[in-house]
């Protein structure tokens, strides 16, 4: 299966601190990864490298066959879909929902004088429909609820038909109903063979959608465990990752965790 992402001994340093250390990781086209780890473990930093928005300090990162540092990252970024709080914060308040999705075609937030074709508008509308947001296309983004915003952001991340989809805490801030709806949408996306490779960061094993195939556990910038989801999401690995005894239960293809 095609390799979409390969990190070889990647390290990241800021102000003399190691944020990521010796990360070696490969993602293939048919894989759906979940990344878990405590606050500050380096999850967002890892996605920032995987989305070609930051270069590693050590090692090499190859995204869709292009090695960072030896390629035009502007082009590469349009081939990687990213949904993150940092990106959502850059969306102007008065941007319409359709434009939030459509402007991803130009890799920007905030519609200005770019040219869009009917096909762009049709794709944006189809993505909004796929995430149950058809009736919201003309609304201003700021008027949406947190759950509605999250769904629009994932639609936006898919606008360029990316080969790699990165979701940073897509269920953060959602209520129970909103979370379950989003998980259903992600489960459907994960199960569709036309979907891109997916990597999702989350804080909760409860938020791992069914159909996710692989997991990585990070602690203090280092990999504690990675591999097929059933071998990786274990009580013993979570105990190591969070530095406290963790009790893990599986029920109907979903997990739940608490202090053991």
Ligand X SMILES: Nc1ncnc2c1ncn2[C@@H]1O[C@H](COP(=O)(O)OP(=O)(O)OP(=O)(O)O)[C@@H](O)[C@H]1O
- Min dist CB 75 to ligand X, Å, is 24
β-pair partners for 170: none
In whole angstroms, what is the distance from residue 126 CA to residue 231 CA? Answer: 37
Question: Among residues 86 and 126, whose Cβ is nearest to ligand X?
Answer: 86
- Min dist CB 149 to ligand X, Å, is 18
- Min dist CB 43 to ligand X, Å, is 4
- Min dist CB 7 to ligand X, Å, is 14
Question: Among residues 18 and 235, whose Cβ is nearest to ligand X?
Answer: 18
Question: Among residues 41 and 217, whose Cβ is nearest to ligand X?
Answer: 41
- Min dist CB 2 to ligand X, Å, is 27
Exposure string of 162-191, with b = 16+ CB inside 10 Å and e = fewer, is bbbbbbbbbbeebeeebbebbbebbbebbe
The residue ranges that bind ligand X (CB under 6 A) are: 14-15, 19, 37, 39-45
The rounded Cα 165 to chain-centroid distance in angstroms is 6
Question: Among residues 4 and 19, whose Cβ is nearest to ligand X?
Answer: 19
CA distances to 83, 109, 134 from 89, in Å: 11, 10, 22
In whole angstroms, what is the distance from residue 18 CA to residue 222 CA? Answer: 10
In whole angstroms, what is the distance from residue 131 CA to residue 103 CA? Answer: 18
- Min dist CB 167 to ligand X, Å, is 13
- For helices 118-130 and 146-158, what crossing angle results, to 10°? 130
**Which residue in the block uniquely carries the two structure tokens 């993150």?**
84
Question: Among residues 111 and 204, whose Cβ is nearest to ligand X?
Answer: 204
In whole angstroms, what is the distance from residue 13 CA to residue 253 CA? Answer: 38
User: 167, 154 in Cβ contact below 8 A?
Assistant: yes
In whole angstroms, what is the distance from residue 183 CA to residue 260 CA? Answer: 26
Question: Among residues 40 and 135, whose Cβ is nearest to ligand X?
Answer: 40
- Min dist CB 247 to ligand X, Å, is 22
Question: Among residues 85 and 130, whose Cβ is nearest to ligand X?
Answer: 85
């Amino acid at each position: 299966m095609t390799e979409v992402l390969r990190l070889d001994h990647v390290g990241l340093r800021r102000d003399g601190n190691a944020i990521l250390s010796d990360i070696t990781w490969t993602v293939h086209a048919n894989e759906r990864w979940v990344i878990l780890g405590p606050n500050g473990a380096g999850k967002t930093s890892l996605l920032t490298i995987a989305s070609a928005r930051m270069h590693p300090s050590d090692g090499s990162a190859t995204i869709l066959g292009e090695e960072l540092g030896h390629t035009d990252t502007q082009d590469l970024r349009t081939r990687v879909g990213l949904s993150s709080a940092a990106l959502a914060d850059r969306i102007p308040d008065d941007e319409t929902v359709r434009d939030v999705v459509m402007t991803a075609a130009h890799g920007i937030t905030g519609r200005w004088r770019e040219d869009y074709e009917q096909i762009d508008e049709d794709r944006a509308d189809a993505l909004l429909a796929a995430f149950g947001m058809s009736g919201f296309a003309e609304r201003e983004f700021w008027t949406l609820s947190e759950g509605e915003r999250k769904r629009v952001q994932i639609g936006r991340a898919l606008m360029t038909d990316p080969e790699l989809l990165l979701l940073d805490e897509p269920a953060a801030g959602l209520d129970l109903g909103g979370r379950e709806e989003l998980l259903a949408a992600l489960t459907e996306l994960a199960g569709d063979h036309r979907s891109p490779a997916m990597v999702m960061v989350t804080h909760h094993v409860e938020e791992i959608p069914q159909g996710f195939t692989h997991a990585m556990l990070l602690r203090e910038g280092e990999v504690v465990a990675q591999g097929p989801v059933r071998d990786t999401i274990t009580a013993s690995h979570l105990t190591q990752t969070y530095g406290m005894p963790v009790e893990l239960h599986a029920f109907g293809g979903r997990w739940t965790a608490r202090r053991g």
